[in-house]
Structure 1
């Protein structure tokens, strides 16, 4: 049924899209992807993402597993990227120097590839992207490296949304997911793990995030796929995501 979602209990509603003065955190200075969100008449919206392919030999990929909350600090860095929160290492990461490569271009360590995701309006004002076999760069970058899919990559996108009371965002997937709203960490699903589902209710965390209804705020999402043998990437939201 169109009115149900994988996080039961979310109330679907029609959300007006009326923009006020924009108050958004700056996007990364080297995020060169031209952000053009394309909305079609048949209820789809295409958003740009930047994916970085990694070799299986990277020490943060393939070798560890487990849920690992608190990998990143609460605030985005001045360059618009997550800031590593540990002096040494975490359960599934090997230190700041290696983590800083996840979302930055580093020759011979990663390869940046521009892609897009198409989200669908499955009910009025309710958007979904769902992929239980999320391998967007198979045979690209460094290639599949003797695997049947390319399992080692990160993804980022930098958007904005107009905050209407009742706004929600649900993510379900593996592995790491760091979502920042207004430059503040709003959702943390760190680590190398099976599918985990979390729902963000903006009304409940608005004060912590420093947001108020009827204003526009930044939406910065960072994802990592670090281990064979599955890759799930799903979200459902009432937020009208737009480009910066």
Structure 2
């Protein structure tokens, strides 16, 4: 008996359907809640303050504050280290960077308040304005790739433990950008998977913006849900059934 071609055709149809589906990149991490009475929060507005951190991550995988005299609105290295502790509670977070169809992936939120009404609460305000966030992933790049961020307050990006974006301080929305060419200049290599660490803090009323656009590969991609796979599979079966009917 001649082997059936249908299983192969079904698999091919499903693969084509999946390849055409929109993909999202996933960043996971932790949000650390804080309160207005803490050091470094709801204090003076420092403005954009580059150079607050060492150029490489510490042995604990966290940034080291090297500023002096309250630079960037930070009292001390010890108060900065407390940003990344769960003294007021913490929560896991996931951000999906959606494919916009042109090779770019983006996440955009002009009211970025992910823990409103949670953990320490809003302290009588309309939002929870006091928190720090550490996002993690894996990334690789080509020379022509780019990463763009606009937001407030502090934002630092590290790749392979090296500082590649520096937007520290309490400030209004600020923009930062780096390219694959910039990463090559730091000694990083194309098509090589590196650790990606993004550190963000919201320290003062009344805005919170968080906007990323990038063409970097961030691994692993968000998996397609089982329901989506089933729907695509059934579409493939339907197409093959119609094909068989027409051939009779």
1:217 maps onto 2:194 in alignment: yes
| Alpha-carbon distance between aligned partners in 2 of 1:196 and 1:46, rounded to the nearest angstrom | 23
List runs of 5+ in structure 1 lacking aligned partners. 1-39
Deviations 1:152-203 (A, max 9, x none): 0011111111222212100000000010011110000001111011111121
Higher helix share: 2
Deviations 1:93-125 (A, max 9, x none): 1011100011233x3xx3111121121100232
1:94 maps onto 2:75 in alignment: yes
Q: 1:187 aligns with which of 165, 178, 187?
A: 165
TM (norm. structure 1) is: 0.78
Q: 1:72 aligns with which of 45, 53, 72?
A: 53
1:166 maps onto 2:147 in alignment: no
Aligned alpha-carbon RMSD (Å): 1.8
Given that 1:158 and 1:243 are in contact with CA atoms closer than 8 Å, whether structure 2 keeps it comes out as no
Specify whether residues 114 and 134 from structure 1 end up closer, same or farther in structure 2 by C-alpha distance, changes over 3 A only: same
Specify whether residues 55 and 127 from structure 1 end up closer, same or farther in structure 2 by C-alpha distance, changes over 3 A only: same
Aligned residue for 1:227? Answer: 204
| Alpha-carbon distance between aligned partners in 2 of 1:166 and 1:42, rounded to the nearest angstrom | 22
Aligned residue for 1:111? Answer: 89
Q: 2:31 aligns with which of 28, 48, 51?
A: 51
Aligned residue for 1:175? Answer: 153
Q: 1:134 aligns with which of 73, 95, 112?
A: 112
Matched pairs, number: 201
How far the C-alpha of 1:243 sits from its partner, in A, is 4.8
1:147 maps onto 2:125 in alignment: yes
Between stretches 72-81 and 59-68, larger displacement belongs to 59-68
List runs of 5+ in structure 2 lacking aligned partners. 1-19, 222-248
Aligned residue for 2:213? Answer: 236
